Amino acid sequence: MCGIVGYIGKRQAAPIILDGLSKLEYRGYDSAGIAIFDGEKINVSKAVGRLRVLQEVTHGGETMPGLAGIGHTRWATHGEPSNVNAHPHTNTAGTIALVHNGIIENYIALKNRLISKGYEFKSDTDTEVVPQLIDYYYKGDPLEAISKALHRIEGAYSFGIIFKDHPGEIYAARKSSPLIAGISEEGAFIASDVPALLKYTRNIYYIGEEEIVRLAENEIHFYDSDCEELTKEPVEIKWDQDAAEKGGFDHFMIKEIYEEPRTVRDTLMPRLKNDEIFIEELGMDDEEIRAVGKIHIVACGSAYHAGVTGRYVFEGMARVPVDVDIASEFRYRNPILDETDLVIVISQSGETADTLAALRESRQRGCKVLAIVNVVGSSIAREADRVMYTWAGPEISVATTKAYSAQLIALYLLALKFASAKGTIDSTELHSYIEDLKRLPDQIELLLARQKSIQRFANRYVGAKDVFFIGRGIDYAISMEGSLKLKEISYIHSEAYAAGELKHGTISLIEEGTLVAAVATQKDLYSKTVSNIVEVKSRGAFVLAVTNEYNTDIEKVADYVIYLPETASWFTNSLAIIPLQLFGYYVSVGKGYDVDHPRNLAKSVTVE
């Protein structure tokens, strides 16, 4: 990840590619690079940090002449941000250069096979195996070599590729990672997103799943994975530049909500092999897992809420005791830690100051620390004993959505791994849970398709002064995050309560017209939550219920119901949070607020 631009035409390629990459900076990245064919060889230039560093190194592209090239801004997934890990990557001879968005799930197996064939590798990335694999199959026909390589690759990808032997062409391919192509009088282009091309053309070709593209100066040809040519019509883009950066969405937050199905897939699928869970980053075999006496989950904000869910799942599935701490309180309560304990710290940015301090405290006391983070090379990633990356990609909106969903998936996988190792679930149960996890992306897409009804409901509560979220068990954890989403972007006072606590004081705050969002997805607790709904209804509350699709009897007591597709009770948070994120978003939009940049908040909290 994260941005791709390619160009071939009449003009110098490097300045055009750098300009296109600048239009994709909103996506977030940690390094950048370009590869340009100068008529004799492919020249590569890379730089860590902002794109301007690469622009300075190449003098705006002037030091890299050539009419064809590819460029990339990288969000690290495999290997820390560095020159050697930055894209483009080449084959050993430097005659094939490639840029890549996505994740190659079977890169280790491919890499080992290529090493046995005499290939040498320089980087820590999954990407480098691809130009080497294409080189292995290359016999003079780029299309044939790419096709054969794609049949061996597992995972998500969008590629831009140039060959020294074919200076008048650029190749591209994609699967589960966006890529577009365009053509104008100035030449032909590829890009990972529309903003990079708007300056040059508004007629865009959307590259389909497992398709290969061959671009020349004045033409574009499309092929399926078996090299059969396809016919494709362009789409005219009518967005302005600002809208294009958001993919046509009004805000980054809603764009990132719609990216959650892909985020869940990207975090989940590389860790599933033949219906078994493989978490190489954990670095623990079954015997070491069984030796863990206790788990401490430490995080802040939404990551803390993910951790609360994790506690229920770990304890329920694996029967291992779990403490969940707000990171800012962890050190100051002088926690009792044992060398057999495992500390799991969670942070989207990997720079959260309180979480980093908790990590250091845990290591000083002899505990192993596993970090769940989204940013490769971040402080927490560097200092933890082990790192499990969520691979959510850059998240621009301050209010987290897709990163939170990715953290949930990471925790589910860890809990299942522990439960399997400890023997608290058998292989049949494990495979059933894995099937439920694999269905989550499609189920999230189904919920997103119902956004208009949630928007209409949200419009009724733009003027609300107080909103209460209630639930029991995992539903309480869901309520905490739903409440936070609403308050941080709409500035409406909102609180989450364990539903059983209502009668211990909170119910005195319920009056005529107060909105109460009741989450009721846990079968064993459903009837008790319904009783709580009746309690608040009798005090005049208007009740929004979020429940499973078979609980239609809830319509007798709730005023508005959002139904969720069926999944294992442990995983309902991943579905229930979607409508609650949408609700918070549409209330904020209705109030006319800056959704992506709520007041007084920062994306990464780097002070205590």
Q: pLDDT tens digits for 512-534?
A: 889 999 999 999 999 999 999 99
SS3 384: coil
Name every residue whose Cβ is closer than 8 Å to that of residue 501 and which is 6 or more positions away in sequence. none
pTM value > 0.85: no
Q: Which residues pair with 78 in a beta bridge?
A: none
- Asked if pLDDT for residue 607 goes beyond 90, the answer is no
The mean per-residue pLDDT over the stretch 423-434 comes to: 96
**Residue-wise over 28-66: b if at least 16 C-beta within 10 A, else e?**
bbbbbbbbbbbeeebbbbbbbeebeebbebbeebeebeb
Confidence of residue 27 (pLDDT cuts 50, 70, 90): low
pLDDT of residue 453: 95
Which residues have CB under 8 Å from 116's CB, separation 6+? none
pLDDT at 227 over 60: yes
DSSP H or E stretch at residue 69:
strand 68-74
pLDDT tens readout for residues 435-447:
999 999 999 999 9
Backbone CA torsion sign across 368, 372, 378, 380: negative
pLDDT reported for residue 376 = 74
Q: Where does the pLDDT of residue 1 fall: very low under 50, low under 70, confident under 90, or very high at 90 and above? A: low
Compute the average pLDDT of residues 237-245.
70
Write down the pLDDT at residue 213. Answer: 97
- Does 604 have pLDDT greater than 60? no
The DSSP symbol for 414 reads H
Residue 606 has what pLDDT? 42
Written as one letter, the residue type at 428 is T
**All CATH 3.40.50.10490 domain ranges in the chain, comma separated:** 253-447, 451-591
Which of 56-65, 274-283, 408-417, 472-481 bottoms out in mean pLDDT, i.e. has the lowest?
Answer: 274-283
What's 283-318 look like in SS3?
CCCHHHHHCCCCEEEEECHHHHHHHHHHHHHHHHHH
pLDDT tens for each residue of 115-172:
999 999 999 999 999 999 999 999 999 999 999 999 999 988 999 999 999 999 999 9
Element (H, E) at 131: helix 129-137
Instruction: Say which of 2, 111, 300, 485 is annotated catalytic.
Output: 2
CATH placement of domain 253-447: 3.40.50.10490
Residue 80's pLDDT is what? 85
Structural class in CATH, domain 2-245: alpha beta
603 is catalytic: yes
Taking residues 73-96, report their average pLDDT.
92
CA–CA dist 545, 560 (Å, integer): 6
The pLDDT of residue 2 is: 76
Q: Which among 248, 597, 262 is positioned nearest to 399, based on CA atoms?
A: 597
- Average pLDDT of span 372-388: 87
Which position among 294, 487, 537, 603 bears the catalytic label?
A: 603
> Is 238 a residue of the active site?
no
Within the chain, all domains assigned CATH 3.60.20.10 are found at 2-245
Give the pLDDT confidence of 280-300 residue by residue, as tens digits: 888 899 999 999 999 999 999
Segment 40-48 mean pLDDT: 96
Residues 477 and 500: their CA atoms lie apart, in Å, by 14
For the chain, give the percent of residues with pLDDT over 70: 97
Whose CA is closest to 14, among 40, 43, 41?
43
The rounded distance, in Å, linking the Cα atoms of 371 and 298 is: 10
Mean pLDDT of 186-208: 90
User: Taking residues 378-382, what's their average pLDDT?
Assistant: 84
Task: Give me the pLDDT at residue 605, please.
Answer: 55
- Return the half-sphere exposure (C-beta side, CA atoms, 13 A cut-off) of residue 255: 21
Percentage of the chain beyond pLDDT 90 is 77
The CATH superfamily of 451-591 is Glucose-6-phosphate isomerase like protein; domain 1 (3.40.50.10490)
Residue 291 has a pLDDT of 93
* Cis, bond preceding 88 (omega within 30 deg of 0): yes
If you average pLDDT over every residue of the chain, what do you get? Answer: 92
Average pLDDT over residues 439-465: 95
